[in-house]
Amino acid sequence: MSGAVTVQSIDPAAAAETTLRAAAAKAGLFFGVAASPNRLHPIVGQEFNQLTPENDMKPDRIATSSGGLQNTSGADTLVNHAQSNNMLVRGHTLVWHSQAGALQGASQATLNTFIGNAINRWGSRIAYWDVVNEALEDNNTGRRRTQWPHTMNRDANGDGDFFDAGDTDVIRDSFIRAKQVVQAGGLTTKLCINDYDVEGLTVQGGTQNRKANALYDIVRNYRQYIDCVGFQGHFNDNPNSIITNDLQANIQRFADLGVEVHLSEVDIDDDLSNNDIGAGQAENYRKVVRACLNVTKCTGITVWGISDSESWRSSERGLLFTGGNGSYQKKAAYHAVLDELNKGRNSTPPTTPPVGPTTLPPTTPPVTSAPPTTPPTPTTGCSATVSLNSWTGGFVATVRVTAGTSPINRWSVQLTLPPGTTVTNVWNANRSGTSGTVQFSNVSYNGSVNAGQYTEFGFQGTGAATGLTPVCTAS
């Protein structure tokens, strides 16, 4: 047993920390806040160990029309404050359709200039930068936005995505530039993509979360440039913005790609009456914090402001404190968060298999525990292979569907699970059945696969999933 494990086995009440930052640090994550220079009250450094500029690093504050920097004093104040209080900084944000200011309508070349100037100005003092913010459309369409800068995107071969070599993709091109700058400068800064309504595997009513699936595809395709994913966590009554039971499974599948995940802008409407998974705001906060704690690569949570009255959505009363102007009172939600953080990462999860010190899944991308049962030899139709990431009592399976010598338009994969094994979550596929023989089929956006190419879907389950022999059919 390691020292860390011994600490975590102490009665939590005896070991309880009394600030969010101390409790989070003990559990191995940051707990941060969004702030502006006029809100740098003592509470910021006392309770939080990470800071996101709420507005002062956005292009409308700091970018010139040619991609230079201006008016950086607010951002400097925040970075300095963070540094002198031992807080990490999440830079926010380089490429965004909103609050673009003088950069509105700029070319990729100008965006690249701005990316270089901004990253180099603060260097490794910024631990994480949101390179691209909110690239995906509202209303669970799973599509990119249609406003600038996404108007620069071109789908050269008309296959419905921007991932091909001949395509133009503002996400890819901005990340490539940012990565070049980080590498050239020898910086430790990690590069994140950030969005909202991407938190759960599903949205209200159990409909699959297409926006989350689209983000997953982006991260998977551009994994070499993307280090981290921010799930904003502005939870409210919008059917796509509610808290669902599959929050943990969703952020876990991103973590399984090898990226860090953050809950980057959390506020929780205090009247999530019928749509949420908890009883009241404090309980909802507890569930959200627990989901992060249960995902090893969930390395931080940031709340989007200190107090309700000073929040961008004050009418939702979604934060941890009341009061204002430096005088704050803790809400029930604060105490719930502190208590949950103090339990550490090893507490039993509410809806998914337990992870503990002896059973932690690998922190690197999913490792195949057994060789693929059927190698993807090209055939007409399709072939499928399964890789498993297992721990005692549970697993995540990634299934790769490879088209044969002809393109396919739809596919299905049949798997027979061992007795006692149950599927609890699925992404990038439709499913019928949860145990015994289970059938998976393509969803609207991944049925078409070119000859010799592949697509992947995944599922999570309880029990053990050894000896799976997938049978793939396609048309």
Residues with a catalytic annotation lie at 134, 265
| Closest C-alpha to 403, from 393, 394, 413, 395 | 413
Q: What distances in angstroms separate CA 230 from CA 34, 130, 399, one per listed residue?
A: 14, 8, 25
- 137 vs 265 by CB, closer to ligand XIL: 265
Residue 312 in contact with ligand XIL, rule: CB under 6 A: yes
CB-nearer residue toward ligand XIL: 148 or 312: 312
Q: Establish if 308 lies at the interface with ligand XIL (CB under 6 A).
A: no
CB contact at 8 A, 28 and 55: no
Nearer to ligand XIL, 61 or 400 (CB): 61
Angle of helix 210-221 relative to helix 247-255, nearest 10 degrees, comes to 10
Kindly identify the residues of this chain, within the stretch 4-63, that bind ligand XIL according to CB under 6 A: 54-55
Shortest distance in whole angstroms from residue 165 CB to ligand XIL: 30
In the bound complex, which residue of the shown chain has the CB atom lying closest to ligand XIL?
312
Q: Does the footprint of ligand XIL cover residue 454 (CB under 6 A)?
A: no
List the end-to-end C-alpha distance of the chain, in Å, as a whole number.
52
Q: What is the DSSP string of 39-60?
A: G--HHHHHH-SEEEESSTTSHH
Task: Please report how close the Cβ of residue 146 comes to ligand XIL at its closest, in angstroms.
Answer: 18
Instruction: Name the residue nearer to ligand XIL (CB basis): 58 or 343.
Output: 58
Site string for ligand XIL, 228-257 (x = CB under 6 A): ----x-------------------------
Site for ligand XIL in 143-162 (CB under 6 A): none
Does the protein bind ligand XIL through residue 265 (CB under 6 A)? yes
Report how far residue 252's alpha carbon sits from residue 391's, in angstroms, rounded to the nearest whole number: 14
Write out the two tokens for 163: 């991932």
- Tell me whether residue 36 or residue 424 sits nearer to ligand XIL (CB atom): 36
Are 453 and 406 within 8 A, CB to CB? no
Task: Provide the angle, in degrees to the nearest 10, between the axes of the packed helices 20-27 and 332-343.
Answer: 20
Our finding on whether 108 is near ligand XIL (CB under 6 A) is no
Nearest-approach distance from CB 265 to ligand XIL, in angstroms: 6
Residue 133 is a binding residue for ligand XIL (CB under 6 A): yes
50 HSE (CA, 13 A, CB side): 27
Least distance to ligand XIL from the beta carbon of 152, Å?
20
- Smaller CB separation from ligand XIL, 217 or 265: 265
Specify the DSSP class assigned to residue 31.
Answer: E
Q: In 3D, which of 230, 300, 312 has the Cα closest to residue 20?
A: 300
Least distance to ligand XIL from the beta carbon of 198, Å? Answer: 12
Residues 99/55, Cβ–Cβ less than 8 Å:
yes
Q: Nearest approach, Cβ of 177 to ligand XIL (angstroms)?
A: 20
d(CA 468, CA 418): 8
Which of 72, 86, 106 is CA-nearest to residue 31? Answer: 86
CB 117 within 8 A of CB 102: no
Of residues 312 and 391, the one with the C-beta less far from ligand XIL: 312
Residue 92 or 172 having the CB closest to ligand XIL: 92
- Write down the least CB distance from residue 440 to ligand XIL, Å: 34
Distance CA 437, CA 418 (A): 9
**Token pair 């999530």 in the structure block, residue:** 272
Core vs surface per residue 324-359: b (16+ CB within 10 A) or e:
eeeebeebebbebbbbbbbbbbbbebebbbebeeee
Q: How far is the CB of 234 from ligand XIL (least distance, A)?
A: 6
Contact between residue 296 and residue 345 where contact means Cβ atoms under 8 Å apart:
yes
Applying CB under 6 A, what is the total number of residues that bind ligand XIL? Answer: 6
The footprint of ligand XIL (CB under 6 A) covers 54-55, 133, 232, 265, 312
